[in-house]
Amino acid sequence: MRWRTFSGILLAIAVPVAFAAIGVAAWQANHPSPAGKVAGNLQDSEEEAVGVIVGSAEWRKFEQKVRSSGSVYAVRFALVSARIPGTLDAVYVREGDHVEAGVTKLFQTDSLKLSKAVAIAQENLRVAECALREKEALREKTLIAKEQAERDLRRYEELLATNGVSRQMVEHQRAAVRQLEADLKHVETLMDLARAQLEQARSALVIAEKDLADSLVYAPITGVVEERYREPGEMAGAGTPVLKISDPSLVEVRVHLPQEFYGMITPGKTPMMVRVGNRELPVQVVSYKSPAIDLRSRTFEVRCQIASPPPDVVPGALAEVAVILESREGVGVPLDAVVTEEGTPVVYVVEADRARRVPVRLGLRSEDYFEVLEGLQPGTQVVLTGQSRLRDGKRIRPIVLGERELHREAQVGIPTIDRSFRQVMSGV
């Protein structure tokens, strides 16, 4: 009886207390304190904000280039061969020697043999001159005999009129005159032959002297001896090079480009950037474009000439070439700012503490920048790193990457953006 009375009293007290506790908890849940509100909002803000690296869209120059490697060639060069085949008597120059056109002796072939040929031709000329003089003397002798025979014939004809001589003697004298006339014609023909032989001997002498002169070869152009192919004592045939001379004062760079760029290059207008070794040359202009595309490689050749090149730009050097197909100015953003979402290039633009998704239309790519044809203005801040964690309107915590860091990244190759992003994510 007593236990039942005590249990009833406890139950009567516990039930109101339990209901009171539940009510207080419900009221606190619906009416949080000001301190709790601030803490909750701060926690929510820190969880939603995404740290990102930002940069700016800027107005800059864009160029469409096609790059290739080529070689340096001499525009003016000569493969010097022997004009007269024979043994090389002497080679007067070596590789690297400077030569002057028409002045510097290069080499000589068979000078002794050709000198003897000149001497023989000179003797033949004297023989022909003597033969002509002989025929002239014979003509004079025949002419005198003919004149005498004509005078005798006139006297015989006068005597025949007075029966002083027989008719037979007159006929014999007439025959003698006709024979001397024929002899005179024969001598004159011999004289013509002698004159022709004299001219022939003179021409032979000229040829022999020309051969002797051609055996000594002079430099055809001013330049430098690039290669020496033969040595004294070796045979030098006609058309076989003995020396190669090139003029280093004017060179050209030749490269081959894919056929799809053929219509975009105009000789005399298209710029061409050339680098030889560590030397960056001034911008040149394409001077030549091959008239046809090679069937095997499907490429075509372009050239540019370089007058008075630096000492280290010589024939045979490797040249790195960039042909500028198109050049213009426009709005550009770093490559990292552009991401592709659902097949569309997108840039996240910074607006206060939010990221706004902006579809863009891209143009040229120049170095580390994309040209933006539509969608951005110069000076607009864009997200460079962390786009994978963003959506349109997402809260962000921007970190501006300075020009010094960008420059150091370009020079040293350190991924500054990625490193800074990792620091932001780790709270450093």
Q: How far apart are CA 101 and CA 223, in angstroms?
A: 8
DSSP string, 112-171: HHHHHHHHHHHHHHHHHHHHHHHHHHHHHHHHHHHHHHHHHHHHHHHHHHTTSS-HHHHH
Q: How many whole angstroms separate alpha carbon 175 and alpha carbon 157?
A: 13
What is the mean pLDDT for each group of 10 consecutive residues in the chain (428 residues)?
43 47 46 45 55 90 93 96 93 96 95 93 95 92 90 86 84 90 92 94 95 94 95 90 95 96 95 94 95 96 95 94 92 92 91 90 88 90 88 85 48 41 38
- The one-character DSSP state at 312 is T
* 278: region left, alpha or beta (phi > 0 left; psi from -120 to 50 alpha): alpha
**All domains of the chain in start order, with CATH:** 50-63+328-426 (2.40.420.20), 67-76+248-327 (2.40.30.170), 104-216 (1.10.287.620)
Element at 370 (helix H, strand E) = strand 369-374
User: Which pair of tokens denotes residue 280?
Assistant: 């960056």
Token code pair at residue 378 = 């110069």
Do residues 78 and 244 make contact, with C-beta atoms less than 8 angstroms apart?
yes
Contact 164, 123 (CB under 8 A): no
- Indicate the pairing of strand 250-258 with strand 58-74: antiparallel
What is the pLDDT, as a whole number, of residue 331?
94
pLDDT of residue 401: 63
